[in-house]
């Protein structure tokens, strides 16, 4: 399996608090890696480190063979990020938000750019009637879809999702999970997904990475469930996780 | 016609277009040029043979699909064949998306806006909103006066500190410098009449009546008017203001009144500092370079300027403070949705409060002259 993202001996400290202590993680081509962990276990810090938004105390990160450095241009053409609250630019319309990366990275004519952006909006399940609205006029779920459309605008190879289903109702969350699976199956995407939603974690991840004790336990759903680490046991032992497991195993049969 | 993306075979009844190479996002411009060369004769069909295709993505698939659609519109039969399964799915996306798009209801008839009507409607809406906001704030001020809370007292003191005490250094420095400038400018003119000593009258009267309070107010409008608008705007965006309403607190009372009260207390104090610094600046130049002795300067100030001049200046301070604080907080509270709007409202707060200060000052000048003060 080809490794797309490789994190080696990552150390992140904030004052005396050690978040990552020599964390190593490989993300493989075409997988959906679900990342979980308690509050403050450094899920977001890990993602921010990979994206070059956070300066780690030590460790090396390579994405698609390129070494990531803090606030240096990374392989921006090859990755798309769905931030937790969408992070759409509030001064631009939906259409302009999606067109922006295309305009930045290509010199294609306006009509083509426009068409491609509309296409991405349609692909993420949005109707084109939202195209001329501003982000503040959209609901949270729609904002996430627009943000996903923007993340997909440059045909990325890697997609980062920060709690994609947080703040969505169960129906919208399930739809969003389906959308991600659909895009993953059809666009040759490698996806790293931070989530608290056990349903979507067990439902769509190929592998799971659990951040515990400054390190990471990574494996398929079954492998991680076998682990006898107390936090992992309690995480997957709570009733809602149990139900999600049953649902996931029913679904796969 | 041959290039890196397609080669065309011209058969009598159809064009066979061999699609090949990398049909990807980065090549869209070249791809569009390439497909534009697919120009069948009348009666010819076009078949795109995609066996040689090495790589395709959504953008590339769209260019291909778009060309087939364009040709179909011209009544030319097209077909896409020879796709590998891995490539077909990209095309399928486009076809799916196009299908969704066709289902969408056509836009309703475009309405031609009547510009004048729209302009008046907007003006009306804005005025109504302004009146409503002012009314709400006025009502909560009244409530606040009837039911003052300890929290408000603490907040007010904090605001006096932020808007007044912390502004003292900068206000002192600028009025001091303006005092210097005034003396320099006046001395040149008054020297011609041999009345150099009158610069003292000029600087002390102009600083106490006008310049001191005006400069302090403009400085405060820039410092605190913007701070009010930005702070309240961010609170609105973070739903802090909503949280207050839900908790049964009146944000107008908790946030707006302390700021208004704080500034009404702070600005007169700043004015006193400004007056003193302005006259001191004048004294520095008059005594230092114009041969007027220190005693003479003090005497002249006491003779020309009486307390009325000082009070005239000081009496304007609370009014200016009220204008700055009202405009700043009102603009902040008007922020509803976006960061962009926050910037806009903050700008409006500063520009409008400075404008209102100067307009009010002109009114005061006329009023005081008429009253003979």
Nearest-Cα distance to chain B for A79, in Å, is 14
At residue B106, the pLDDT reads 55
pLDDT of residue B129: 80
A90 and B340 within 8 Å at the Cβ level: the answer is yes
Indicate if the pLDDT at residue A184 is higher than 70.
yes
What pLDDT digit, counting tens, does each position of A134-143 carry? 888 888 888 8
Residue B105 banded pLDDT, cuts 50, 70, 90: low
pLDDT at B225 over 60: yes
Cα angle A65, A210, A175; round to 5? 85
Q: Does A137 touch chain B (CB under 8 A)?
A: yes
Q: Which residues of chain B are within 8 Å of residue A187 when distances are taken between CB atoms?
A: 57-58, 90
Cβ <8 Å between B340 and A112: no
Which residue has better confidence, A179 or B314?
Answer: B314
Q: Do B90 and A186 touch (CB under 8 A)?
A: yes
Domain chopping of chain A, boundaries: 1-10+22-78+157-253, 88-155
Q: If 0-12 CB within 10 Å is exposed, 13-18 middle and 19+ buried, where does residue A237 land? A: exposed
Contacts of residue B109, defined as CB under 8 A and 6 or more positions apart, other chains included, come to: none
Residue B235 to residue A143: CA distance in whole angstroms = 21
Under the banding of pLDDT at 50, 70 and 90, the label for residue B104 is: low
Place of tokens 């460790």: A59
From B130's Cα to the closest Cα of chain A, the distance in A is 22
pTM: 0.69
* B10 torsion bin: left (phi>0), alpha (psi -120 to 50), beta (else): beta
pLDDT at B52: 82
Cβ-contact A64, A77 below 8 angstroms: no
Report CB contact under 8 Å: A115, B62: yes
Supply the pLDDT for residue A251. Answer: 61
CA distance A119 to chain B (A): 7
Check if B100 contacts A (Cβ < 8 Å). yes
Instruction: State which residue of chain B sits closest to A122, comparing Cα positions.
Output: B97
Contacts of A90 in chain B (CB under 8 A): 337-341
> Quick check: B108 pLDDT over 70?
no
A127 touches chain B (CB under 8 A): yes
Q: Which residues of B touch A137 (CB under 8 A)?
A: 337
Q: What is the mean pLDDT of residues B157-173?
A: 95
Residues of B in contact with A129 (CB under 8 A): 104
Q: How confident is the model at residue B317 (pLDDT cuts 50, 70, 90)?
A: very high
B-chain residues within 8 Å CB-CB of A154? 25
A181 close to B (CB below 8 A)? no
Cβ A112–B28 below 8 Å, yes or no? Answer: yes
Read off the tokens for A200: 């979507």
Nearest CA in chain A to B340: A91
How confident is residue B110, by pLDDT bands cut at 50, 70 and 90? low
Which pLDDT value is given to residue A233? 84
- What topology does CATH give the domain A1-10+22-78+157-253? Rossmann fold (3.40.50)
Mean per-residue pLDDT for B135-141? Answer: 77
The DSSP H or E segment spanning A179 is helix A170-187
Q: Is the pLDDT of residue B362 over 90?
A: yes
DSSP B252: I
Asked whether the beta carbons of residue B100 and residue A122 sit closer than 8 angstroms, the reply is: yes
The answer on pLDDT for A72 being more than 60 is yes
Please state, in angstroms and rounded to a whole number, the distance separating the CA atoms of residues B64 and B60. Answer: 6
Measured in degrees and rounded to the nearest 5, phi and psi for residue B48 equal -90, 120
- Among A43-57, B9-23, B275-289, whose mean pLDDT is lowest? B9-23
A-contacting residues in B 279-308 (Cβ below 8 Å): none
The CA distance from A215 to the nearest CA of chain B, in Å, is 34
Q: How far apart are CA B101 and CA B96, in angstroms?
A: 9
A83 part of contact set with chain B, CB < 8 Å = no
Report whether pLDDT(A248) > 80.
no
Q: How confident is the model at residue B2 (pLDDT cuts 50, 70, 90)?
A: low
State how far Cα B194 lies from the chain centre: 51
Nearest neighbour of B337 by CB, restricted to A118, A119, A136: A136
Q: Residues B240-248: contacts with CB within 8 Å, 24+ apart?
A: B241/B333
Q: Is any Cβ of chain A less than 8 angstroms from the Cβ of B114?
A: no
pLDDT at B274 over 80: yes
Q: What is the pLDDT of residue B109?
A: 62
Asked whether the predicted pLDDT for residue A46 surpasses 80, the reply is yes
Residue B103: predicted pLDDT: 64
Interface residue A110 vs chain B (CB under 8 A): no
Of A91, A106, A118, the CB nearest to B25: A106
Q: A111 in contact with B at a CB cutoff of 8 Å?
A: no
Closest to A98 (Cα-Cα) out of A82, A83, A120: A120
- Domains belonging to chain B, first-starting first, are 6-103 (3.30.750.24), 150-371 (no CATH)
Q: Chain A: residue nearest B338 by CA? A: A90
Q: Is the pLDDT of residue A101 over 80?
A: yes
How many angstroms separate the CA of residue A123 from the nearest CA in chain B?
6
**Which residues, listed in sequence order, are joined to residue B73 by a DSSP beta bridge?**
none
**Is A120 at the interface with chain B, CB within 8 A?**
yes
């Amino acid at each position: 399996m080809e490794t797309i993202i490789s994190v080696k001996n990552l150390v992140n400290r904030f004052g005396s608090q050690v978040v990552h202590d020599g964390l190593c993680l490989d993300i493989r081509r075409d997988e959906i890696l679900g990342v979980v962990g308690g509050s403050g276990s450094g899920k977001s810090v890990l993602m921010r480190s990979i994206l070059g938004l956070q300066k780690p105390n030590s460790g090396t990160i390579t994405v698609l063979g390129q070494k990531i450095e803090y606030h240096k241009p990374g392989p921006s053409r090859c990755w798309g990020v769905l931030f937790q609250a969408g992070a759409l630019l509030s001064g631009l319309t939906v259409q302009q938000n999606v067109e922006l990366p295309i305009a930045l990275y290509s010199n294609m004519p306006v009509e083509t750019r426009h068409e491609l952006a509309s296409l991405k909006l349609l692909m993420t399940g949005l109707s084109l009637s939202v195209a001329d609205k501003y982000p503040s006029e959209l609901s949270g779920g729609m904002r996430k879809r627009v943000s996903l459309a923007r993340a997909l605008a440059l045909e990325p190879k890697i997609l980062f999702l920060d709690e994609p289903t947080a703040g969505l109702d169960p129906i919208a969350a399930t739809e969003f999970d389906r959308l991600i699976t659909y895009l993953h199956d059809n666009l040759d995407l490698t996806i790293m997904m931070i989530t608290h939603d056990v349903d979507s974690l067990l439902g769509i991840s190929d592998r799971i990475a659990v951040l515990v004790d400054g390190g990471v336990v990574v494996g398929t759903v079954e492998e991680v469930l076998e682990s006898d680490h107390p936090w992992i046991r309690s995480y997957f032992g709570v009733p809602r996780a149990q139900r999600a497991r049953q649902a996931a195993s029913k679904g796969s049969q | 016609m041959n290039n890196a993306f397609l080669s065309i075979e011209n058969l009598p009844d159809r064009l066979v277009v061999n699609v090949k190479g990398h049909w990807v996002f980065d090549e869209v411009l070249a791809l569009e040029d390439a497909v534009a060369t697919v120009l069948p004769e009348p009666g010819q069909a076009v078949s795109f043979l995609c066996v040689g295709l090495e790589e395709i993505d959504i953008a590339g698939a769209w260019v291909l699909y778009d060309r087939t659609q364009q040709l179909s519109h011209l009544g030319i039969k097209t077909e896409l064949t020879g796709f590998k399964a891995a490539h077909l799915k990209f095309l399928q996306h486009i076809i799916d998306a196009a299908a969704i798009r066709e289902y969408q209801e056509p836009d309703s008839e475009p309405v031609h806006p009547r510009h004048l009507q729209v302009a008046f409607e907007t003006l009306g809406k804005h005025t109504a909103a302004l009146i409503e906001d002012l009314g709400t704030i006025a009502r909560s001020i009244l409530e606040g006066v009837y039911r003052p809370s300890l929290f408000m007292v603490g907040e007010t003191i904090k605001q006096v500190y932020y808007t007044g005490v912390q502004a003292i250094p900068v206000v002192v420095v600028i009025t001091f410098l303006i005092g210097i400038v005034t003396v320099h400018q006046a001395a040149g003119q008054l020297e011609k009449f041999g009345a150099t000593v009158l610069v003292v009258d000029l600087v002390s009267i102009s600083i106490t009546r006008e310049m001191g309070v005006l400069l302090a107010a403009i400085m405060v409008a820039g410092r605190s008017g913007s701070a009010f608008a930005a702070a309240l705007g961010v609170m609105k965006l973070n739903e802090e203001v909503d949280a207050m309403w839900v908790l049964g607190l009146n944000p107008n009372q908790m946030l707006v009144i302390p700021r208004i009260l704080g500034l009404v207390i702070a600005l007169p104090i700043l004015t006193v500092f400004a007056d003193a610094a302005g006259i001191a600046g004048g004294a520095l130049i008059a005594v230092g370079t114009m041969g007027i002795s220190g005693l003479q300067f003090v005497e002249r100030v006491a003779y020309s300027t009486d307390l009325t001049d000082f009070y005239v200046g000081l009496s304007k301070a609370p009014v200016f403070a009220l204008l700055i604080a009202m405009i700043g907080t009102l603009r902040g509270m008007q922020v509803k949705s976006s960061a962009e709007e926050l910037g806009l409202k903050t700008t409006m707060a500063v520009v409008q409060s400075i404008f209102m200060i100067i307009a009010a000052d002109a009114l005061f000048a006329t009023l005081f002259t008429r009253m003979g003060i």
